[in-house]
Structure 1
């Protein structure tokens, strides 16, 4: 028996007895217009619309689609909607558990279904980046011959994780994280629509806010929590899902945190100041509050990158590398796993030696520039790679440092207006002690030792 017969039977059972399916399944979009978020992909005339035959000319473009985005934002749902909209079989495989054998079995089944029943197949392959090059190669004949409509999902950059032949034959769609507004609209629909909860309970603003926080941008998680809270409220004979009921149901206390208000900035400020103060435990506490409040992990990662330069600098040159790597990882994996990466970076930054010398140096230099202390570039430093430069004296007399045994050429580099300014004042903290020795030595060689310091 073909897999689509099982799928059809399950869908028929769901239509006859909707309550037998989880709320997240019942609220699964049936058409593109019901898809939550992804407005940039759903505009009239978009490639996705044309793929399902909307607009003039019917279906258009490649028969392979790659969906790229963080977990929990509807990649599987989009694949399902495409299969429904085009009246095709829907077969799902995960690259974590499936291999070439399973892929070939699906392709063979798709060819039989097309030849025997006239039914085309959508193959949804989740986590395609887990497939090796050879495994991805096995998909090419089916894509090239249109034996299946391949819809592959990945949380990693497809330009690095998907082979070029497959990528060139595919429509690449980048999915964006779901916003609170997206999820709020979904919850309201689930509360009122007949296939959802049918209006039997209401959800006040504070309870909804907590559901949004614990959902972390994941539509399935939001609907699952709503269903559990609604069941608990009805069991108590209540028509309203209170904040207390939500807390009891999901076993998580509401975090007093308004991402659009003062506490958003207060908690973020406390996180950075705790890192600056080297209190790793306090920093982790504020990080946990931001995570539990559903803060955008990219916002947290940006703050950590700023802290790495503002408060640590050259005292630990690896701090910025750690923070940047964390930001890149967060963008790829999303919550809940991103919490581990943010914890890693926060601990590293809190325990790193501290220096704000890089911060004060650039601020002092910028202040002088704003006050008009600039002046012309010394002639010997100017560009000499054009006809007539020598006549103007440009690049004349410049000493090439690599020709000097010690690699330091004692010549004027700064404009005359700031010739005696010293902006960088290194600390003796951590690795910056080495830079302190280096800058003292180089200034001596340049004849700048003991000159006037910038205020």
Structure 2
């Protein structure tokens, strides 16, 4: 039984989990219903409704629907459609999945028809496509983000699938289906499909034998997921490598996706290590890229290296504290106009490189202080260098 096809929503009202796009007053829905939607790109996690929304748009706007994947899309296919609708009274909707993989020549073929609006282009990706699209494509389109489907919506979708199949499923199994799918409705339905192919009486043991670990975004138990992630971060912050590696292992054995762990380490590298060891951010960013490409089981080694490195690094939260203080000042109404000399096109600006790298110059119209360099690791050298070039003993 193909639940994905059976339960695919065909109206905005039937779409679950994306109220910011499907609610009656949502901008996207309003534009569609007024037949005013322009070229649009969707991005978000898998199984959140990107393809369904594209099909709903075609239905609402009454447009012929053509679906492609950027990895196999051929320019000849596009030109054939363009020719077919050259003198037509309607325009087709071209839906391109994995749009971030569009080659530059494919984008260039799309530009003229996007400019004349004789075709409506809708793209979808699990990655933000604006980083891969050309500036010309971006300027002609809008971008909407889809969120992981929340547990309430997941439960509703699951109930529909259970009703369709007539299977027997207990509460523990329902909870496991929802929690281990990480907001991916398709992953939840596929797991149920596989379980029903084995037997009609579904329990947690059966599901766990098919998917021993969480699909994404966390462990099978929400509380444990947050507690273990918190313990890992606090152990690193406290420079205890044994505790940190233990909690890392707990997260890995619990099925935590390596990408989630790596993202947390990147944040910690700036928030808790910062400029006391600037290399920490580089290493953790590299680890994040690596685990995405490699996956388990080898990704565990990369994560362990990053965790141990962070534990053994000097710690400073000065960058975290500084940006928090600066943002709070702005919220409190401290809004200063830049001094005239550092505004653009001012002939009185003093170019520091012409003065050996530093020259006394006004950068704020009122004195403000947010950054306190700590006498820790490389950050100590940074503070000393600033005090040296200024020729004073004031805080850097």
Q: State whether TM-score is above 0.5.
A: yes
Does 1:426 find its partner at 2:376?
Answer: yes
Deviation at 1:224, TM superposition (A): 0.7
Match of 2:56 in 1: 81
SS at match of 2:153: helix
Report Cα offsets for 1:314-351 as digits up to 9, x if no partner.
Answer: 56322134446778x79xx9999799989745632323
Distance 1:220 1:361 in 2: 40
Pick one of 6, 26, 31 that aligns with 1:46: 26
Structure 2 unaligned blocks of 5 or more: 322-338, 341-351, 361-371
Specify which of 119, 141, 146 is matched with residue 175 of structure 1: 146
Q: Is the 2:274–2:315 contact (alpha carbons within 8 Å) kept by the matching residues of 1? A: yes
1:246 has 2:246 as partner? no
Aligned to 1:130: 101
Deviation at 1:435, TM superposition (A): 4.1
Aligned partners of 1:133, 1:184: CA distance in 2, in Å? 41
8 Å CA contact retained: 1:124, 1:152: yes
Contact kept? 2:94, 2:122, Cα under 8 Å: yes
Could you say which residue in structure 2 is the equivalent of 1:59? 35
The residue matched to 2:96 in structure 1 has which SS?
strand
In the TM superposition, what whole-angstrom CA distance separates every residue of 1:262-284 from its partner, at most 9, and x where no partner exists? x3443123323554333475354
Aligned mates of 2:219, 2:264 — CA distance in 1: 21
**Alignment map for 1:133-144 (pairs within 5 Å):** 133-144=104-115
In the other structure, the counterpart of 2:195 is: 229
* Partner SS, residue 138 of structure 1: helix
Contact 1:187–1:223 (Cα < 8 Å) also in 2: yes
Is 1:161 aligned to 2:132, yes or no?
A: yes
Secondary structure (helix, strand or coil) at the match of 2:24 reads: coil
Alignment of structure 1 residues 142-291 onto 2, 5 Å: 142-192=113-163, 196-197=164-165, 200-234=166-200, 238=201, 241-250=202-211, 252=213, 258-259=221-222, 261=223, 263-272=224-233, 275=236, 276-279=239-242, 281-289=245-253
Residues 93, 121 of structure 2: 8 Å contact kept:
yes
CA distance in 2, matches of 1:301, 1:248: 27
Contact 2:45–2:184 under 8 Å retained in 1: no
- Residue 313 to residue 60, structure 1, CA distance change in 2 (3 Å): closer
CA drift at 1:302: 6.3
Alpha carbons of 1:311 and 1:294: their partners in 2 closer, same or farther (altered >3 Å)?
closer
In 2, the alpha carbon distance for the partners of 1:438 and 1:423 equals: 9
1:205-225 residue CA offsets vs partner (Å, 9 max, x unmatched): 321222123323221111111
Quote how far apart the aligned CAs of 1:152 are.
1.2
Larger Rg: 1
Partner of 2:65 in structure 1?
90
Distance 2:310 2:3 in 1: 47
Q: Is the 8 Å Cα contact of residues 360 and 424 (structure 1) preserved in structure 2?
A: yes
- Scaled by the length of structure 1, the TM-score of the pair is 0.61
Is the CA contact 1:67–1:175 (under 8 Å) kept in the aligned structure 2? Answer: yes
* 2:40 and 2:122 in contact (8 A); partners too: yes
Q: Distance in 2 between matches of 1:293 and 1:68?
A: 23
Other structure's SS at 2:228 match: helix
Q: Is the 8 A contact 1:274 1:282 kept in 2?
A: no
